[in-house]
Chains A and B, each alone.
Chain A
Amino acid sequence: MSGGYVGKLLRVDLTTGTITAEFLPPDNILRQYLGGVGLATKILYDEVPLGTKPLDPANRLIFLTGPLGGTPAPTSNDCAVCCLSHETGYTMGVAHFHGFFGSTLKFAGFDGIIVQGTSPNPVYLWIMDGKAEIRDASGLWGKDTHETLETIREEVGQPEAAVACIGPAGEALMKGAAVCTDYHHMAAKGGAGAVMGSKKLKAVAAWGMGGVSVADPDKFIDIMLEWRRKMFTGDTNAQMLLNGGIATRGYETMGDVSITSFKNLLDPDGGTAMAYAISEFNKKCILRPQGSFSCPVACAYRLEIAEGPHKGFIATPGGGGESIEGSALVMGITDPGTCYWLTEKFDRMGWDSATPGLAISLLFELYERGIISQKDTDGLELRWGNAEVIPILIEKTLKREGIGKVLAEGPKATAEYFGGEALKAVVHIKGTGPNIHDWRPIFETLFSYAVSPAGPCHQGIGTYDPDLGPEYSFPQLGPMFTPEGRALATRVRMIKKLYDDSIGVCWFSTMGVDGIADLTGRALMAATGWKDFSVEEAHRIGERIINLMQAFSVRFGHTPAHDLDIGGRWLEPPESGVAKGLSIAPNLKYMIRDYYTVMGWDPETGKPLTETLTKLGLEKVAGDIAKIKVPVRLQDVPFETPAQPEQA
C-alpha cells in the first residue's frame, strides 16, 4: 500500500501480557471495510466468540482510525472505539472520539489497537514510535479523566502524548461509562468504558514522530482545500458548529425545533426556554473553541462561567459526551452555570451523562409525582432543580450504595425496579441512554436510534443528515410525522454514515456537504493510491457494514422485540412544542417492518436475507446466520400504543 494507512495493528492480550504488531488486513479486505467502524465491525464479527458477554475477557475493545486519519483532510482525527456493547449486550457498541488520539496513534505507528483478555491488576498501555509496553496503573485507579491524562503525560515524560482513558465510571463498570481523551472528548456510547474497565485497562497513551504517507500529495492538497471550502458552503453542520459547537448557535437551533430535554422530557416548552436562556448565558461567558487535530470546526469548548453560584468555574465540554441535557436539564436544573458544573462532574468521571442522567431524572419524576418517597431515595429530596443531590447520587451510584445500586444499571433497569408508572415515564432506547435530545419532534431520528444495530446514538448510526440529494438517491419524504419514506431515508443515511465513519474523519465534516461521497472518494484515492474508487463503491461499503452489524446482532441474540424496546416517554405525545400531541407510536411497528424490508432483511425477524448478504460478498456471513432461528416475530411482539389525542 502506498499511503493513507500506516499498515499496522497492535494486538494486546492483557491476560497473557503479550503485545504483537500485526499487519493490517490485505488490500482486498481494506477495500471492503476501509477502517474505523467498518474494519472494527469486521474484526468484532470474526473474533468475538458466540456467547461472549460484554465484560468477559473474550470481548474485544478496538480502537481504529481510518485511511484519511492524520492527513490534512479536515477533521482527520476520528478514532472509532468498538466492542460488544455493554449497554445492550447484543449489539455492537460503537463510539467515536476526536481530539488528538486517533491521529497521534497513527504518528506512533499504528492504525488501530485490538485489546483482548483481562489484566489481573490495573494497567495502562504506552505506545511510542512503533513500540508498546504494558505499565502498572495501580496509582492511577480512581483518578478522574483529567488527572489521569496529566499523570500519564508526566510518567511517560511526553507532554504531548495523547491519552485515552476511563474514569471511575469505567472502573466501576457503570452503564454509560465512556472512554475519554484530551480534556474534551468522549467515546460515549456502546459501553466501551465499562469494557475497558473490565479489562482493568485504565488508559492507552500514544505519541510518535512518524508520519502518514500520502500517495499523491499535490492532488491531496487540492482535494482537502476543496473539502474545507465546501464544508462551510451552504447549509452544512460545520457551519452551525463552528467555534464552540452547540454552545454558540446550537442551543438556539435546538430551541427552534423544540428538542431540548427538560424534566425527564415532560416539559418541551420548558426545554425550549432553557435552550434560549443557555444560549444567552454563553454569550456572557468566556468561551474558547478547542480544535481537534486538523479540525476547522472546533466544536469542543472551554467555558468560564460568568455568573451565578459557580462563577469562575471552568467547564470543558466537547463532542461525544452528552452535555448539559443529560447531566442537568433532565433533572430540571435551571441555572446554566450549575448545568455546566454538573456536566463537568459526569465528564470527569468518564461517564456519558445520558445513561445515569436519565436514570436519575426518572427518579426525580417519580418522586415529584409522589410515586416514590424519601424511603426509596435514601432520604434525598428529589425536587426538580435540586442540583445538590446530584453529586450525592453520582457518588452513591459509583459505589453501588443504596439507591445507587439500582441507578448503576441504567434507566430501563431503574424503571423495571419500580415498575408500573416508571415504565411509562422512563426515557431509554434498548435499555440505555440515547443521544439525549427530545427526538419526538424529529421522529425519524428517534426511529433510527430504535433500530440501530450499534446502539441508540448518532455515534452508532447517524440519521439526522439533511436531504442527501441525488448522490444518494434520497427518497421523497412525506410531510413531517408521516411514516412514508422514513425507512428508506434511514437506510440511505445509515449507509452514508457508516462509510463516513470508516474513512478516518469526523461526521461533522461530511454532514450537509455537497457531493461529499465523490469528494471523500477522491481524497481516499489520492491518499491510498487506489485508482478506481467510485461513489457506488462507497455506498456498497456502507451497506456491507450495516449488514454485517445486523448479522453480528442477530448472532448475539437480537430480535425484533429489541427494536421495540423503547422507554414509555418516547411514545407519549409531548405536552408542548412543535410535536405537541403527536407520537411515533402508532406507526412504529409499520416503520420497523418497512425498514427491514428496504434493508433486504426478513420483514418479520430483521435477519439479513441470504441474497442481500451474497450481493455484498458476505456469503460466509449468510451461512453463519442461516443456522440461527430468531425466536420472535415482529407481528407477535406485544406493543401497546399509549392513548393518542384525536389529532394524531
Chain B
Amino acid sequence: MVYMLDIDYIKCTGCQSCSVACSLKREKISNPLLGRIQVARWETEGLHVPIVCRQCEDAPCAQVCPVNALVRDSDSRVIEIDNNRCIGCRMCVIACPFGAMLVNPHSLKVMKCDYCHGDPLCIHVCQNQAIKYVPLTQSLYAKRMAGSRKILDSIAGTV
C-alpha cells in the first residue's frame, strides 16, 4: 500500500525531536544534522517547516542522477538510494525542490528519507502529530472531509 508522511505545518513547534530521533535510529548517533527529516526554523515568525522527501512520482532527484542510484520501490513508491551506485555528485541535492536530499557532512554520503521501510520513528516523537504516517487514501479522505466541513459550515442555515 502507498503511504505518505502527511505534515500539518501549523502544528510544528520546531523542536527537532524528529531529526534527532531519526539520526539515532538510522545513523546510530544523536545529531539533528544527520536526521533524514530536517526542520527549517523561521524563528521570528514562530513557524517551522519539517522538510522530508515527498517521494515525488516524477522525481527530479532520480531524473538527474547520472548513475541511476535513486531507485523506486514499485509497491511502496518510496525512492531509496543504492549506495553501491551513488557516486556522491550531489546532483540530486541541487535538483530537489524541497531541500529534502541531504548530505551527511562527515561521510559526505547522500541521505534521504525512506519511511524507515514502513516504520518511521519520527511520527512517534512528534507530540502535536504534525507528522503522520498514513495510507495515501486515508490522507486524502481526511483532507476531503476537513474541506467539506468548511463548505457545510458556510452554507449551514442558508438551505
B44 contacts A183, C-beta separation under 8 Å = yes
Chain B residue numbers with a CB within 8 Å of A242 are: 127
Shortest distance in angstroms between B17's beta carbon and chain A's nearest beta carbon? Answer: 5
Chain A, residue nearest B23 (CB): A211
Contact check, B47 vs A293: say whether CB atoms are below 8 A apart. no
Give the CA-CA distance A72 to B32 in the complex, in Å.
Answer: 9
Contact B29 A214 (CB under 8 A): yes
Q: Which of A221-229, A345-353, A401-409 contacts B (4 or more CB under 8 A)?
A: A221-229
Is B28 located at the chain interface by the 8 A CB criterion? yes
For residue A6, give the distance in angstroms from its CB to the closest CB of chain B. 10
- The reply to whether the CB of B125 lies closer than 8 angstroms to some CB of chain A is yes
A210 at the interface (CB under 8 A from B): yes
With the chains together, A292 CA to B20 CA distance in Å? 13
Name A146's closest neighbour in chain B (CB-CB): B44
Taking a contact as CB atoms under 8 Å apart, the answer to whether A220 and B24 are in contact is yes
Among the listed B20, B46, B48, which residue makes an inter-chain contact with A72, where contact means beta carbons less than 8 Å apart?
B20
Q: Which of B8-16, B67-75, B143-151 contacts A (4 or more CB under 8 A)?
A: B8-16
Asked if B105 is at the interface of the complex by the 8 Å CB criterion, the answer is: yes
**Cβ contact within 8 Å between B21 and A224:** yes
Q: What is the bound-complex CA distance between A212 and B34, given in angstroms?
A: 11
Interface residue? B96 (CB, 8 A)? no
Distance in angstroms between the alpha carbons of A74 and B16 in the assembled complex: 11
Contacts of B15 in A (CB 8 A): 291-296, 298
List residues of chain A with CB within 8 A of the CB of B105. Answer: 209
A211 CA / B32 CA spacing, docked (Å): 8
Tell me which of A228, A295, A302 contacts B46 (CB under 8 A): A302
In the complex, A479→B13 CA distance in Å?
40
Within 8 Å CB of B128, what residues of A?
A: 243, 298
Q: Provide the bound-state CA to CA distance between A294 and B31, in Å.
A: 11
Select B125's contact among A70, A103, A183, A228, beta carbons within 8 Å.
Answer: A228
Q: Which of B16, B31, B48 contacts A212 (CB 8 A)?
A: B31
Query: A438: CB under 8 A from chain B?
Result: no
Q: Known contacts A183-B43, A288-B47, A297-B127; is A209 also within 8 Å of B121 by CB?
A: no
B 119-136 binary contact with A (CB < 8 Å = 1; else 0): 001001101100000000
**B27 CB contacts on chain A under 8 angstroms:** 211
In the assembled complex, which residues on chain B have CB atoms less than 8 Å from the CB atom of A209?
Answer: 31, 33, 105-106
A103 contacts across to B, CB distance below 8 A: 32
Contact bitstring A278-310, B, C-beta under 8 A = 1, else 0: 000000000011111111111001100000000
On whether A294 and B16 interact (CB within 8 A), knowing A211-B29, A221-B24, the answer reads yes
B127-A70 in contact (CB<8A): no
- The answer to whether A70 touches B14, judged by C-beta atoms less than 8 angstroms apart, is no
> Binary interface profile of A, 205-222, with partner B (CB < 8 Å = 1, else 0)?
000011111100100110
Contact between B46 and A221, CB atoms less than 8 A apart:
no
Chain B nearest Cβ from A165, distance in angstroms? 15
Within the assembled complex, what's the spacing in Å between the Cα atoms of A103 and B32? 10
Contacts of B30 in A (CB 8 A): 70-72, 211-214
Interface string of B98-119 (1 = CB under 8 A from A): 0000000110000000000000
Q: Smallest CB–CB gap between B20 and chain A, Å?
A: 5
Total interface residues on B, CB under 8 Å, equals 32
Min CB distance, A233 to chain B, in Å?
13
| Interface presence of B25 (CB below 8 A) | yes
Question: Known: A70-B30, A209-B33. Contact between A295 and B24, CB under 8 A?
Answer: no
Among A160, A214, A228, A291, contact of B13 (Cβ-Cβ < 8 Å): A291
- Which residues 37-66 of B sit at the A interface, judged by CB distance below 8 A? 41, 43-48
A225 neighbours in B (Cβ, 8 Å)? 124-125
C-alpha gap A332/B68 in the complex (Å): 69
B25 touches A211 (CB 8 A): no
Q: Which residue from chain A places its CB closest to the CB of B128 in the assembled complex?
A: A243
In the complex, whether A556 has a CB less than 8 A from a CB of chain B is no
CB-CB contacts of A533-557 with B at 8 A, as 1s and 0s?
Answer: 0000000000000000000000000
Roughly how many angstroms separate A302 CA and B43 CA in the complex, as a whole number? 9
> How far is B44's CA from A477's CA once the two chains are assembled, in angstroms?
46
| Across-interface contacts of A182 in B (CB, < 8 A) | 43
CB of B119, distance to nearest CB on chain A (Å): 12
Which of chain B's residues have a CB closer than 8 A to the CB of A211? Answer: 23, 27, 29-31, 33-34
Q: Closest A-chain residue to B29, C-beta based?
A: A211
Contact indicator A296/B24 (Cβ below 8 Å): no
CB distance from B47 to the nearest CB of A (A): 7
Measured in the bound complex, the distance between the Cα atoms of B47 and A633 in whole Å is 56
| Chain A residues within an 8 Å CB radius of B31 | 70, 107, 209-212
Complex-state Cα separation, A619 to B112, whole angstroms: 55
Q: Is A464 an interface position by the 8 A CB rule?
A: no
Contact: A221 with B121, CB < 8 Å? yes
A481 in the interface (beta carbon within 8 A): no
Given A213-B30, A225-B125: A293 and B46 within 8 A (CB)?
no
A76 vs B30: C-alpha distance in the bound complex, in angstroms? 11
Within 8 Å CB of B127, what residues of A? 228, 232, 242, 296-298
Q: Which of A72, A107, A289 contacts B24 (CB 8 A)?
A: A72
B-chain residues with CB within 8 Å of residue A292 when the two chains form the complex: 15
Chain B residue at minimum C-beta to C-beta distance from A77: B15
Contact flag A290-B20 (CB < 8 Å), given A183-B43, A302-B46: no
Point out residues on A near B: beta carbons under 8 Å. 70-72, 74, 76, 103, 107, 160, 182-183, 209-214, 217, 220-221, 224-225, 228, 232, 242-243, 288-298, 301-302
Q: Can you identify 21 A-B contacts, CB atoms within 8 angstroms?
A: A70-B31, A72-B17, A72-B21, A107-B31, A182-B43, A183-B43, A211-B23, A211-B30, A214-B24, A224-B125, A225-B124, A289-B13, A290-B14, A293-B16, A295-B13, A295-B17, A296-B15, A296-B125, A297-B127, A298-B15, A298-B127
Given contacts A70-B30, A290-B14, 11 further A-B contacts (CB under 8 A): A70-B20, A71-B24, A74-B17, A76-B20, A214-B29, A225-B124, A228-B124, A242-B127, A291-B14, A295-B15, A296-B125
10 nearest CB pairs, A to B: A291-B15, A211-B31, A291-B13, A302-B46, A296-B127, A288-B46, A298-B13, A211-B29, A72-B21, A212-B30
